[in-house]
Amino acid sequence: MKPVTIDALLSKKQAGSPITMVTAYDVPTARLLSESGIDIALVGDTLGMVIQGGENTLSVTIDEILYHTKMVRRGLDGPLLVGDMPFLSYQISEEEGHRNAGRLIKEGGAQAVKLEGGEEIAGLVRRLTRSMIPVIGHIGMKPQAIHQMGGFKVQGRDLPGRERIINDARALLDAGVFALLLEAIPPSLAREITQLSPMPTIGIGAGPSTDGQVLVFHDLVGWSVGPAPRFVRSFGNVGSNALSALVKFKEAVSARNYPSTDESYPEKGASPPPMNRIKSKRKG
Ligand code: KIV
């Protein structure tokens, strides 16, 4: 598939053509994103919640993001691959942040990194972009600041909050980000940032006016556990389909209906298995 480049994303903004971004943590998901023509695959630190079952994203390590980025790299054909910088992988020192971002590119095969933060990380963003590491800035609700915010709360509802987020956007753009991810802010604020930004904005819980939208894969396919935030729309029922398959498997095994003769290996000297089995790439 034609690789999505940063220039292509910029052209989409200029043409008013919406950008799509979805999280991926493994090969099968990477393949689905590729086949469906999604623009950006994000190996997000949400893996701490949707994969690891944590209450927030804080426990995720750079090694875990790296591990999943390598997997997604193997399954991806087309979408731009972005690795997320998890909590404390870049806040301790710029040097450490630089080294960790470099690992996602060099070892993981990511083509860009995403960092939560505004003005306070502009120095690091400048340093990364100067060393040829493309960066997406993540502002508004920053899940890594959950304890400072007092929970997952919509940001930028009052004037000082609004101004702070606009200043963050300007600082990151000035430092060289190629896109801004806007999370959980009022639609009017997202519209204002989208209008002032020469680079694409990608929203999650930020209303319809951003240049693109991002969702967590498990939320959008209907595979998440527990209540979803207001902005989530389930476009599928993967969870209930998988559950029904498991129940049918259990019933078939219990009733000794599985495996059938066709699903068992023939004894030595018996006629060969059907062609479709021989052509299968899987061993056996
Ligand atoms: O880490 C992540 O998965 C995210 C989502 C909000 C898209 O940033």
- Residue whose CA is closest, atom 8 of ligand 1? 44
Q: Is any atom of ligand 1 closer than 6 Å to the C-beta of 19?
A: no
Q: Which of 29, 42, 142 to mutate to test the pocket of ligand 1 (most atoms within 8 A of CB)?
A: 42
Is 61:45 a contact under the CB 8 Å cutoff?
A: no
Cα dihedral 26, 28, 34, 37, rounded to 10, equals -110
Give the per-residue pLDDT at 279. 53
- Residue whose CA is closest, atom 3 of ligand 1? 44
Q: Is any atom of ligand 1 closer than 6 Å to the C-beta of 46?
A: yes
Is 12:118 a contact under the CB 8 Å cutoff?
A: no
DSSP assignments along 18-45, one per residue? PEEEEE--SHHHHHHHHHHT-SEEEE-T
Give the per-residue pLDDT at 281. 55
Give the per-residue pLDDT at 20. 98
Give the per-residue pLDDT at 273. 60
- Residue whose CA is closest, atom 4 of ligand 1? 44
User: Domains of the chain by range and CATH?
Assistant: 6-239 (3.20.20.60)
Helices 187-196 and 159-175: crossing angle in degrees, nearest 10, is: 30
Position in ligand 1 atom list of the atom nearest CA 114: 8
Distance, CA 22 to ligand 1 centroid (Å)? 9
Is 57:45 a contact under the CB 8 Å cutoff?
A: yes
The contacts found for 243-251 with CB under 8 angstroms, 24 or more apart, are: none
Distance, CA 14 to ligand 1 centroid (Å)? 24
| Sign of the dihedral defined by the CA atoms of residues 74, 76, 78, 83, in that order | negative
Run means of pLDDT, 10 residues per run, the chain, 284 residues: 96 98 98 98 97 96 98 98 98 98 98 98 98 98 96 96 98 98 98 98 98 98 90 96 98 98 92 59 56
Q: Is any atom of ligand 1 closer than 6 Å to the C-beta of 42?
A: yes
β-bridge pairing 40-43 and 19-23: parallel
pTM: 0.94
Give the per-residue pLDDT at 269. 85
Q: Is any atom of ligand 1 closer than 6 Å to the C-beta of 44?
A: yes
Cis peptide upstream of residue 134 (ω within 30 degrees of 0): no
Q: Is any atom of ligand 1 closer than 6 Å to the C-beta of 224?
A: no
